[in-house]
């Protein structure tokens, strides 16, 4: 079981090596080391999976060093190897490996190549800590770690001030969520006396029977919102697209943003005992899904579309969790990792090609703007086909991975509330629509920048297209993980996760019986409708989109302005915060702190000036002081030897003497 | 207490105090030195009364005979003449009076009233000079040796401090100063 | 024979006080030095008195060493006085004030 520690250690060690010696290595070495570390972790994860399977999914806690041991508080850095954490581990290392391979080609020629891979590996290590930790404290270490790496990687292009801002924004908004996480953890500790997941799951029904689950669940959900970009803490994710595309794929699509979902599922028992909070989770998730999907409709930057899409799909996962369908949430997490990573990497490939083409044509347009693209189908066939697969998957096209996972979520929703189910279908429609808007604008329409640029576009190298192909295959076949029905091989993921999620799912069982087949048919129709609408608006240069925008200018304006959420934050939170900081700096820091230190200094100086006069430099004055001291000492001895009256007499004499001496040696012109 | 001892003691005490007082109030340094000799002599008699003949003789021989001679030698060598400084300003006199008086008073009281320091001790004189000699070569051998080393060091030190500056040193110092 | 220990201690105290007064009041270095010797002498007297009180020889032996040290100290001190006189052409204690201000 120490394999688990090795699994985490590999990327961290590689990161350290790259950080320290990376500048002296060449690109091949760096890429091999980085990818090798992640590959090693992936293989170890597979081995661990076999081990867990043999044990029928029983959790194993791999002990580690004690971190804090104060009084009754005892936090250990220990890992928990069970089906849920392994699932996440496989996603992180597997998809992470693919993205690392892609990044070797994408970042080729970048002047800070080693720093990039060092940070990327560090991120993988931190994420593994997050998912493999066995208690909330160690998980929080990973939580913060990935936040930090996210900040560093978003701001990777140090020459772009917008990148710095985006990084800061991400970190700060995450922090708000982290506060929720910490409050939740404190409440957990107060209730359970421990932060270990196994203990929490087992003891929840008894400890939280009298209530208290709602508060814990609520605060933990706030934390999840911060990390997983749910309303109203999603504003950082679109800005995070300032980072390199592999970063967007890995961190902001496949792994870090899913940490919130993982947290909710991991604390499933607690949430199961707080039905009100679960409702909140579902509603917030669905609300986010709707808002983000609407915003994705009006974006022109290819990566921003995908960013809002990610937020939207995360909303789906929270909807599933809120409906008590933890397995469905995890299932969608996995499939989403496949096709979202695919889409991001594909867009990376497109951006890469566009950049070169624009540069070679001597222009300086934005390579990420879809209004500059078009007709790339002929020039970049592999990218085109793989991205098409990804788009179909995310739209819920039948038989592809996304269909199965999305359908399971919708089915679970339909069993509890038809209204939410309908809204969910609406989101699916929007998803299909904006996704194909992206595909059509990028690959099918007329090249917007003319033949000068278009002829320069070349397909990306095999280093980049191979990962795309791998992810494409996974997007097609991924649904196999959890097919519905009761035949052999169906519901594999459900069975796999059952040992971990079983107890909480039992608590959550409820809702009407539904017709899954009917649901599948309806959602297929919805998906195809969405695709069809997109085609009618955007295929082959039909500019219906613009016409639609002109017809509802206020709606369009609100969407373009992102509901003015950023502005609201700025006005009510950021600016008062700045003012407070400035006040503190001027008044408290400069005035109080510096002032008191300076005051102390002045006192010392003044004291020195006064005392100076008692050192006249004359031998006889010194002698006089000797005598005064002698009187004091002898007086003390008298006190000891004779009794209080002697001491009293001595004190009187001493006082008289001291007074007389002070009077004699007071500062005079000639001392 | 035997009257004889007391009478002798009182006489010697008066002479000693008189000598000390005149020493500090005399205008001429040579006079001061001589008064101090008188004081030492009286003290030597008190030593005898206290049953310390060896120390008494030592007092005369070393203190009065060597140390005070050295003092007189230096006074005459410096050829100072009358001192003009006796008992300068009045304030100082008051303060010093208080200081010295306080110290003396305290010591006195501790001496007289502190734990069981009786007025007198009866009994024969317990020591002979031989006992002192034996102690010096026995238990007190180390301090004895240390004292001789100390005298040597003092001799060397004095010669270093008090010698007239050699011409070479003077030239070197002038060169550095310029 | 009987020894007047209490009175001897009283005498010692008085001589010591005189010595202190002399040190503090006189400006002539040599007189100051002689006052110091007076103080030492007073201390020796106290030692001898206590030696008689406790019937122990240690007090007298200490006086022996005290005397030795006093002799050495006078020699060195007078050497310093002579050296200072050479520099300052005076034996006024107040003129030895290079550390002033």
Mean pLDDT of A557-586: 82
d(CA A285, CA A221): 11
Q: At residue B115, does pLDDT exceed 50? A: yes
- Which residue is it, tokens 């959900």? A221
pLDDT of residue B56: 92
List of chain C residues whose C-beta atoms are within 8 Å of the C-beta of residue B138: none
Interface test with C, best of A618, A621, A665, A671 (most C CBs within 10 A): A618
Reference B59, options B16, B112, B11, B111; nearest CA is B16
Q: What residues of A are in contact with residue B113 (Cβ under 8 Å)?
A: 642, 646
Give the Cα separation of C37 and C70 in Å (integer). 8
Mean pLDDT, all residues of chain A: 84
Q: Do C20 and B103 touch (CB under 8 A)?
A: yes
User: Which pLDDT score is estimated for A376?
Assistant: 82
| Dist. CA A19–CA A33, nearest whole Å | 12
Number of Cβ within 10 Å of residue A73's Cβ equals 12
Please give the Cα distance from A307 to A235 (Å, whole number): 11
Per-residue confidence (pLDDT) for residue B152, from 0 to 100: 94
Does any CB of chain C come closer than 8 Å to the CB of residue B129? no
Nearest CA in chain A to C98: A617
CB pair distance less than 8 Å for A630 and B103: yes
Residue C26's contacts (CB-CB under 8 Å, 6 or more residues apart) are B24, B83, B85, B86, B87, C32, C35, C93
Q: How far apart are CA B64 and CA B70, in angstroms?
A: 10
Residue C20 has a pLDDT of 86
Q: Does residue A620 belong to the interface with chain C, where contact is any CB pair within 8 Å?
A: yes
CB atoms < 10 A from the CB of B27, how many?
13
pLDDT greater than 70 at residue B125: no
Chain A: nearest CA to B115, how far in angstroms?
A: 7
Contacts C71 to B, Cβ<8 Å:
62, 66-67, 151
Using a 10 angstrom Cβ sphere, with 0-12 exposed, 13-18 middle and 19 or more buried, the burial of residue B168 is exposed
Q: Is A175 or A60 the better-scoring residue by pLDDT?
A: A175
The predicted pLDDT at position A411 comes to 86
Beta bridge partners of A135: A196
**A522 Cβ partners below 8 Å, 6+ apart?**
A425
Q: What is the pLDDT of residues A227-271, one digit of tens each?
A: 888 888 888 888 888 889 999 898 877 788 889 999 999 988 888
* Chain B residues near residue A641 by CB distance under 8 angstroms: 110, 114-115
Task: Label residue B41 left, alpha or beta by phi (over 0 means left) and psi (-120 to 50 means alpha).
Answer: alpha
Which of chain A's residues have a Cβ under 8 Å away from the Cβ of B107?
A: 634
Q: What percent of chain A has pLDDT over 70?
A: 91
- Residues of chain C with pLDDT below 70 are 1, 97-101
CA-based nearest distance A664→chain B, Å: 7
> Is residue A182's pLDDT more than 60?
yes
pLDDT score at A541: 59
- Residue from C11, C36, C63 to probe the interface with B (highest B Cβ count within 10 Å): C11
CA distance B86 to chain C (A): 6
Give the model's pLDDT for residue A128.
93
Inter-residue contact A523 to A428 (CB < 8 Å)? yes
Q: Is residue B71 classed as helix, strand or coil in its secondary structure?
A: helix
Q: How confident is the model over A46-64, as a mean pLDDT?
A: 81
pLDDT band of B43, cuts 50, 70, 90: very high
Helix (H, G, I), strand (E, B) or coil at A460: coil
Q: Specify the pLDDT at position B37.
A: 95
Choose among A185, A263, A195: nearest CA to A219. Answer: A185
Q: What is the DSSP letter of A81?
A: E
Tens-place pLDDT, residues A15-50: 998 888 888 888 888 888 899 999 999 999 999 888
pLDDT score of A108: 86
pLDDT at res. A667: 47
| A250/A121 Cα distance (integer angstroms) | 11
If you write DSSP's letter for every residue of A146-208 in order, what string do you get? HHHHHHHHHTTSTT-HHHHHHHHHHHHHHHHHHHHHHHHHHHHHHHHS--BHHHHHHHHHHHT
In DSSP notation, A29-74 reads HHHHHHHHHHHHHHHHHHHHHHHHHHTTT--EEE---EEEEETTEE
H-helix or E-strand spanning residue A461: none
Tokens of A362: 């001597």
Which residues of chain C lie closer than 8 angstroms to B87, CB-CB?
25-26
Residues of chain B neighbouring A657 (CB-CB closer than 8 A):
95, 98-99, 102
pLDDT at B19: 93
For residue A652, the distance in angstroms to the closest alpha carbon of chain C comes to 18
Closest CA to A449 of A524, A379, A374: A374
C6 at the B interface (CB within 8 A)?
yes
Give the whole-angstrom CA distance, residue A430 versus residue A197.
38
Phi then psi for A140, rounded to 5 degrees? Answer: -65, -35
- The structure tokens listed for A359 are 């540069």
Tokens of A469: 């192909």
CA distance A535 to A318: 30
Beta bridge partners, A73, equal A70
C90 Cβ under 8 Å from any chain B Cβ: no
CB contact under 8 A, A617 and C97: yes
Whose CA is closest to A223, among A270, A191, A190? A270
Residue in A198, A102, A185 with CA at minimum distance from that of residue A144:
A185
Residue B113: which of A634, A642, A653 has the nearest Cβ?
A642
> Which residues of chain A have a Cβ shorter than 8 Å from any chain B Cβ?
624, 627-628, 630-631, 634-635, 637-638, 641-642, 646, 649-650, 653-654, 656-657, 660-661, 663-664
Instruction: Give the C-alpha separation, B39 to B16, whole Å.
Output: 4
Range list of H helices, A107-160: 113-132, 136-154
Q: Which of B107, B136, B144 has the highest number of chain C CBs within 10 A, making it the mutation to test binding with C?
A: B107
Q: What is the pLDDT of residue A353?
A: 87
pLDDT in tens, A485-505: 666 667 778 888 887 887 777
DSSP secondary-structure letter at A617? S
The predicted model gives A539-557 an average pLDDT of 70
* C51 contacts B49 by C-beta, under 8 angstroms: no
Angle, alpha carbons A4-A9-A14 (nearest 5°): 145
Q: Is the pLDDT of residue A373 over 70?
A: yes
Find where tokens 């560093």 sit. A152
Under DSSP, is residue A79 helix (H, G, I), strand (E, B) or coil? strand
Check CB contact of A64 with chain C, cutoff 8 Å.
no
pLDDT, position A669: 40
Does ipTM exceed 0.95? no
- Measured CA to CA in angstroms, residue C4 lies from A131, B5, C13 at distances of 95, 7, 14
Cβ burial of A639 (10 Å; 0-12, 13-18, 19+) is middle
In A348-402 the beta strands, taken as DSSP E runs, fall at: none
Q: Is the pLDDT of residue B54 over 50?
A: yes
Residue A507's SS3 state is helix
* Predicted confidence (pLDDT) at residue A552 exceeds the cutoff of 50: yes
Mean pLDDT check: name the lowest of A364-378, A515-529, A545-559.
A545-559
Cis bond before residue A232 (omega within 30° of 0): yes
Tokens describing residue A125: 């290590």
Provide CB contacts within 8 A for C81, sequence distance 6+. B74, B78, C29, C30, C33, C91
Q: What dihedral angle (degrees, nearest 10) is formed by the CA atoms of B72, B73, B77, B79? A: 10
> Do C7 and B13 make contact, defined as CB atoms within 8 angstroms?
yes
Q: Is the pLDDT of residue B69 over 90?
A: yes
Cα radius of gyration rounded to whole Å, chain B: 22
Question: What is the percent of chain B with per-residue pLDDT over 90, rounded to a whole number?
Answer: 34
pLDDT > 70: percent of chain B: 78
Residue A612 φ then ψ, to 5° = -50, -35
Going by their DSSP bridges, the two strands A66-70 and A60-62 should be labelled as unpaired
What does the block give as tokens for A168? 């800061």
* Residues A618, C100: C-beta atoms closer than 8 Å: yes
Average pLDDT over residues A168-175: 89
**Which is more confident, A378 or A277?**
A277
Q: By C-alpha distance, which of A93, A86, A89, A91 is closest to A60?
A: A86
Task: Output the six-digit token pair for C97.
Answer: 């004030």
Q: A44 to each of A33, A39, A199, how far by Cα in Å? A: 16, 9, 26
From chain A, the residues in CB contact with B87 under 8 A are none
């Amino acid at each position: 079981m120490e394999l688990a520690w090795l699994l985490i250690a590999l990327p961290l060690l590689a990161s350290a090596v790259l950080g320290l010696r990376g500048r002296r290595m060449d690109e091949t070495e760096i890429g091999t080391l980085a990818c090798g570390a992640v590959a090693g972790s992936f293989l170890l994860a597979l081995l661990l999976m076999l081990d867990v399977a043999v044990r029928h999914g029983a959790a194993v806690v791999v002990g580690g060093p004690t971190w804090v041991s104060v009084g009754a508080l005892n936090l250990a850095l220990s890992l928990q190897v069970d089906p849920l954490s392994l699932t996440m581990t496989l996603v992180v290392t597997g998809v992470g490996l693919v993205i690392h391979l892609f990044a070797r080609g994408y970042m080729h020629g970048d002047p800070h190549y080693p720093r990039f891979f060092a940070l990327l590996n560090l991120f993988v290590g931190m994420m593994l800590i997050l998912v493999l930790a066995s208690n909330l404290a160690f998980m929080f270490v990973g939580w913060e770690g990935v936040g930090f790496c996210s900040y560093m990687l978003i701001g990777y292009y140090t020459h772009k001030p917008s990148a710095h801002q985006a990084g800061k924004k991400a970190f700060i908004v995450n922090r708000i969520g982290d506060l929720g996480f910490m409050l939740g953890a404190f409440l957990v500790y107060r209730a359970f006396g421990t932060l270990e997941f196994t203990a929490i799951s087992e003891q929840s029904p008894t400890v939280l029977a009298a209530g208290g689950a709602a508060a814990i669940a609520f605060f933990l959900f706030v934390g999840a919102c911060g990390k997983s970009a749910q309303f109203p803490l999603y504003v950082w994710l679109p800005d995070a697209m300032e980072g390199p595309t592999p970063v967007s794929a890995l961190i902001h699509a496949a792994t870090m943003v899913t940490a919130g979902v993982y947290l909710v599922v991991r604390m499933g028992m607690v949430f199961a005992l707080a039905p009100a909070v679960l409702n909140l989770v579902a509603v917030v998730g669905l609300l986010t899904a709707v808002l983000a999907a609407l915003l994705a409709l009006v974006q022109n930057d290819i990566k921003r579309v995908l960013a809002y899409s990610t937020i939207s799909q995360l909303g789906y996962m929270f909807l599933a969790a809120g409906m008590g369908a933890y397995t469905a949430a995890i299932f969608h997490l996995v499939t989403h990792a496949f096709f979202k990573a695919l889409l991001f990497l594909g867009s990376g490939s497109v951006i890469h090609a566009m950049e070169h083409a624009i540069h070679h044509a001597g222009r300086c347009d934005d390579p990420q703007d879809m209004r500059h693209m078009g007709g790339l189908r002929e020039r970049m066939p592999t990218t085109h086909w793989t991205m098409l697969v990804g788009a179909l998957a995310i739209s819920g096209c039948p038989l592809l991975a996304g269909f199965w996972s999305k359908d399971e979520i919708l089915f679970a929703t339909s069993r509890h509330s038809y209204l939410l189910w309908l809204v969910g279908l609406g989101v699916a429609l929007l998803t299909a629509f904006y996704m194909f808007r992206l595909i059509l604008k990028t690959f099918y329409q007329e090249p917007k920048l003319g033949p000068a640029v278009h002829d320069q576009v070349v397909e990306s190298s095999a280093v980049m297209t191979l990962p795309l192909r791998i992810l494409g295959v996974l997007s097609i076949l991924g649904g196999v993980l959890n097919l519905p029905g009761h035949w052999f091989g169906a519901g594999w993921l459900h069975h796999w996760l059952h040992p971990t999620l079983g107890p909480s799912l039992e608590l959550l069982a409820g809702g009407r019986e539904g017709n899954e087949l009917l649901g599948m048919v309806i959602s297929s129709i919805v998906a195809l409708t969405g695709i069809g609408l997109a085609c009618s608006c955007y295929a082959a240069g039909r500019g219906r989109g613009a016409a639609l925008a002109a017809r509802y200018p206020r709606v369009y304006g609100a969407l373009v302005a992102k509901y003015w959420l950023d502005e609201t934050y700025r006005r009510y939170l950021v600016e008062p915060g700045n003012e407070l900081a400035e006040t503190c700096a001027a008044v408290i820091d400069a005035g109080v702190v510096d002032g008191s230190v300076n005051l102390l200094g002045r006192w010392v100086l003044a004291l020195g000036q006064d005392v100076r006069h008692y050192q006249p430099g004359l031998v006889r004055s010194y002698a006089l002081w000797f005598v005064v001291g002698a009187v004091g000492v002898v007086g003390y001895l008298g006190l000891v030897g004779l009794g209080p009256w002697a001491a009293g007499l001595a004190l009187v004499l001493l006082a008289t003497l001291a007074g007389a001496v002070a009077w004699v040696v007071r500062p005079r012109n000639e001392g | 207490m035997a009257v004889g001892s007391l009478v002798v003691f009182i006489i010697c005490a008066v002479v000693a105090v008189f000598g000390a007082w005149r020493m500090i109030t005399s205008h001429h340094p040579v006079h001061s030195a001589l008064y101090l000799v008188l004081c030492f002599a009286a003290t030597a008699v008190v030593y005898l009364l206290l049953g310390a003949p060896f120390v008494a003789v030592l007092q005369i021989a070393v203190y009065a005979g060597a140390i005070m001679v050295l003092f007189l030698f230096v006074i005459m060598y410096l050829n100072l003449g009358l001192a003009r400084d006796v008992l300068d300003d009045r304030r100082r006199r008051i303060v010093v009076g208080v200081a010295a008086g306080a110290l003396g008073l305290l010591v006195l009281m501790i001496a007289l009233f502190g734990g069981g320091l009786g007025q007198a001790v009866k009994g024969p004189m317990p020591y002979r000079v031989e006992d002192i000699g034996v102690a010096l070569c026995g238990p007190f051998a180390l301090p004895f040796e240390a004292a001789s080393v100390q005298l040597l060091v003092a001799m060397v030190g004095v010669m270093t401090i008090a010698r007239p500056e050699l011409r070479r040193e003077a030239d070197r110092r002038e060169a550095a100063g310029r | 024979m009987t020894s007047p220990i209490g009175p001897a201690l009283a005498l010692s105290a008085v001589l010591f006080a005189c010595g202190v007064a002399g040190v503090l009041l006189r400006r002539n270095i040599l007189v100051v030095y002689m006052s110091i010797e007076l103080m030492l002498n007073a201390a020796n007297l106290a030692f001898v008195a206590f030696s008689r009180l406790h019937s122990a020889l240690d007090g007298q032996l200490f006086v022996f060493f005290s005397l030795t040290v006093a002799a050495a100290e006078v020699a060195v001190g007078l050497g310093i006085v002579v050296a200072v006189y050479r520099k300052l052409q005076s034996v006024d204690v107040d003129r030895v004030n290079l550390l002033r201000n």
